[in-house]
């Protein structure tokens, strides 16, 4: 993130660019972008003006349903707001997407270390987004002892805020994973049969696969 922030001017700008580039068919309101990037609305608004001025994004009206409580009743109200979406005619679209992907998403030991506090990792497989394979079902597969699914989810959400895209993952206790592996569970087989990088394998899964 630090290198990209220096190239593009700020880490906020990089986060927003990733959101648009990796979710090119989705439009977001100012508040949605603030929540997703975990950046205050004022800073997001400033960067949106710049990205709009260079033609990377364009405006699109969006409607959202908002639930409100009134006199003990839940009322659903439809709101109409200004949304922002990637302009797919932007001249440097593909080079920029490639740069933001390669420079920030690495299937390496650094990625594994981010999950160290979640438990005793026995198996860690990266796929999908982390190796630029877009047709896989899962981006991360994690198995371990005393695994805290809450911590895993929190770490994944932090990474999502950085990369601007939802991450699909599966996390299992070691015994549960070994059972699924033994019965040739479809999800597990799909991950192992499709392109992936195994970063931790204390279970000898690759030898058995």
pLDDT mean for each 10 residues of the chain (209 residues): 66 90 92 93 95 94 81 79 95 84 74 94 93 84 96 93 86 96 92 92 86
pLDDT number for residue 65: 78
pLDDT number for residue 116: 94
pLDDT number for residue 79: 85
pLDDT number for residue 6: 62
Q: What is the CATH number of domain 109-208?
A: 3.30.460
pLDDT number for residue 1: 53
pLDDT number for residue 140: 96
Q: Where are the domains of the chain?
A: 2-102, 109-208
pLDDT number for residue 27: 96
CATH 1.10.10.10 for the 2-102 domain, yes or no? yes
Beta-carbon neighbour count of residue 149 at 10 Å? 13
Q: Give the C-alpha separation, 13 to 152, whole Å.
A: 26
Q: Give the C-alpha separation, 1 to 20, whole Å.
A: 17
Beta-carbon neighbour count of residue 50 at 10 Å? 15
């Amino acid at each position: 993130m630090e290198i990209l922030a220096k190239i593009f001017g700020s880490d906020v700008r990089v986060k927003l660019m990733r959101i648009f580039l990796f979710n090119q068919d989705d439009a977001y309101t100012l508040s949605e972008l603030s929540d997703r990037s975990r950046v205050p609305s004022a800073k997001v608004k400033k960067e949106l003006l710049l990205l709009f001025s260079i033609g990377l994004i364009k405006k699109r009206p969006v409607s959202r349903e908002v639930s409100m409580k009134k006199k003990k009743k839940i009322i659903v109200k439809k709101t109409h707001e200004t949304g922002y979406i990637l302009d797919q005619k932007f001249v440097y679209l593909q080079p920029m997407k490639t740069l933001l992907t390669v420079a920030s998403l690495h299937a390496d030991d650094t990625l594994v270390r981010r999950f160290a506090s979640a438990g005793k990792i026995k198996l860690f497989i990266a796929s999908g987004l982390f190796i630029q394979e877009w047709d896989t079902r899962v981006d991360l597969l994690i198995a371990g002892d005393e695994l805290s699914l809450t911590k895993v989810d929190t770490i994944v959400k932090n990474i999502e805020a950085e990369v601007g895209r939802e991450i699909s993952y599966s996390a299992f206790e070691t015994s549960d994973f070994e059972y699924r592996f033994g019965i040739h569970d479809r999800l597990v087989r799909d991950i192992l049969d499709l392109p992936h990088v195994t970063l931790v394998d204390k279970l000898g899964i690759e030898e058995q696969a």
